[in-house]
Amino acid sequence: MFVRGATIVSLKQVGKSFANGTQALERLDLDVRAGDFVTLLGPSGCGKSTALRMIASLTQPSRGQVAWSGVRTAGDVGFVFQEPTLMPWATVEKNVALPLDLRGRRDEAVRRRVAEALERVGLAGFANAYPRELSGGMKMRVSIARALVTNAKVLLMDEPFAALDEITRFKLNNDLMALAHSLGMTVVFVTHSVFESVFLSSRIVVMTPRPGRVFRELQIDEASPRSDAFRTSAVYAEYCRRVSEALHAAMEAAP
Amino acid sequence: MKTGSDTRKLGLLRGRANLDILARAVLPMVTILLAGGAWELVVRVNDLPPYILPSPSLVATTLVSDWPILWESLIVTLTTTFEGLLLAFIGGVGLAILFNQSRLVEYSFYPFAVILQVTPIVAIAPLLLIYLPQRAAVLACAWIVAFFPVLANTTLGLHSVDRNLGDLFQLYGASRWQILLRLKLPSALPYMLEGLKIAGGLSLIGAVVAEISAGSAGAGSGLAYRIAESGYRLNIPRMFAALFLLSVAGVVIFFVLSLFANLLLRRWHESATAPDV
């Protein structure tokens, strides 16, 4: 385990160019530290998701490097996509167990861990349901439970709540915040939403338009977990104003 | 956190699914009965002789009186059809997996599959009857016609895996074998079963074409031969009775395969579940 604040993974001068000539990222520097809830915020196409995929080793940088502290094994990274990305042919329980199942583990301990993960996301009674029988918010909870089941060092979340209605989104934001706090999770979160980023994050990384790089980092020095009351506070409004300003400045600073 | 509202929603969805299944079974039967009634009426009102157009009631009577001959022929045709279908499924899925695992194999052999598919089976059947024993030739015809939909659909299914799910398997270190068995084949299952449904009818057509081409008489003759034979003898009611049996066989094959697909997919795939609205 990492000491809180110790660097888990670093992106050093990372660049990414695609075969069609698109340059998604340029000289991106980012440290992810244990216990961080860091949000990548920026306009569409600025390479936020590409950066996330690089941390997960789902794509390789064209330039620079992604350096992990210590050895990284399968299961060290949990990934939650914009869509729930569940296997529709498998029950909730089997979906959540997938990361362990792929390692050949199917014992009673696995069942317990799956049950715990489902309990944590509030889906204890739905182990035998199929994804089709669940609402959008519930499917996303299953996806989060699957990411939690390996006790991942880092949880990567790529606009996980973008497709949900505002009420469900608020509820899931609250639950995620409580979960991240109680488990001491390290989270890298991607969103377009200034409000969501301020509510959830301990640190917000504002990115420039494509090719994306870090424009400014802002600390959100408010205690976690934060409640609904925080959303209506003057402090929250002030943070949102500062982040919005940074985002606008990033857009104007674009080459 | 399972709420009463969630449970009610679940119950409502399942209730709608049951209603849809009932409608799918009843509506086609009603339509067929109405069409049969209209046919009977036309024959009786115009007093048409049986050698021009037999009434459905006469066809039914012939079906009963000629049952021993027709039944024997039906079994011959169905045996060929099912053997052809089984081989088509094994061959189609097996080839699709090979194609998916190796681009080189796909590039090398896919054109052969297309050539077999686009060449009319009525043109191939006489050649097969020259080079193969009659039984094998008839089976080969059924296989040739039936295997392509399974191959094409399964290939499509194996290539249509959710990209994010693929990433997830990669993220968790899945082996090539695990990706095939745990991700690609389940993803391709609806496509595969759809191909099988098409192949069922085509296998019957292949068997019929081959039987007509073979033109043999005796105990080994299938329903297609009975139709041709009845045509020569102007036994039009028997011709219709044999044709009716072929149609029923085709419908039953389709129904059984649809039921099979439904059983496998009903919990999770849109094609086998009732619409939400």
Q: pLDDT tens for residues B248-273?
A: 999 999 999 999 999 999 888 877 76
Place of tokens 């012939």: B62
Task: Show the tokens assigned to A246.
Answer: 């940074």
pLDDT at B273: 64
Rounded CA separation A91/A211 (Å): 40
> Please, what are the domains in chain A?
7-252 (3.40.50.300)
pLDDT tens-digit readout, A75-87 = 789 999 999 999 9
Among B172, B189, B269, the residue with its CB nearest the CB of A75 is B172
Q: How far is B26 from chain A (nearest CA, A)?
A: 27
Is the separation of the CB atoms in A123 and A145 below 8 Å?
yes
pLDDT at A161: 92
Fold exhibited by the domain B55-272: MetI-like fold (1.10.3720)
* Confidence class for position B6, pLDDT limits 50, 70, 90: low
pLDDT tens-digit readout, A187-197 = 999 998 999 99
Q: How far is A254 from chain B (nearest CA, A)?
A: 30
Is the separation of the CB atoms in B76 and B69 below 8 Å?
no
A124 alpha carbon, distance to own chain's centre: 23
Count of alpha carbons within 13 Å of B65, Cβ hemisphere only? 8
Q: CB–CB of B168 and A125 under 8 A?
A: no
Q: CB–CB of A57 and B171 under 8 A?
A: yes
Is the separation of the CB atoms in A219 and A201 below 8 Å?
no
pLDDT tens-digit readout, B77-93 = 999 999 999 999 999 99
Name the percent of chain A lying above pLDDT 70. Answer: 98
Q: CB–CB of B173 and A124 under 8 A?
A: no
- Closest Cα in chain A to B10: A133
Q: How far is B103 from chain A (nearest CA, A)?
A: 21
Q: CB–CB of A102 and B174 under 8 A?
A: yes
Predicted model pTM:
0.82
Q: CB–CB of B1 and A130 under 8 A?
A: no
Task: Pick the most confident of A153-157, B1-5, B8-12.
Answer: A153-157
Give the sign of the dihedral formed by CA B8, CA B13, CA B19, CA B22: negative
pLDDT tens-digit readout, A134-191 = 999 999 999 999 999 998 889 999 999 988 898 889 989 999 999 888 888 999 999 9
Is the separation of the CB atoms in A128 and A92 below 8 Å?
yes
- Closest Cα in chain B to A118: B1
pLDDT at B3: 56
Q: CB–CB of B267 and A85 under 8 A?
A: no
Confirm or reject contact between B275 and chain A (CB < 8 A): no
Chain B residues 153-212 with CB within 8 Å of chain A: 162, 164-165, 167-174, 178, 182-183, 186, 189
DSSP strands (E only) in chain B? none
pLDDT at A193: 92
- Residue B216 DSSP one-character state: -
pLDDT at A255: 59
Chain A residues lying within 8 Å of B174, measured CB to CB = 102
Is the separation of the CB atoms in A131 and A88 below 8 Å?
yes
* Confidence class for position A254, pLDDT limits 50, 70, 90: low
Task: Show the tokens assigned to A230.
Answer: 């925080």
Q: CB–CB of B2 and A126 under 8 A?
A: yes
pLDDT at B217: 45
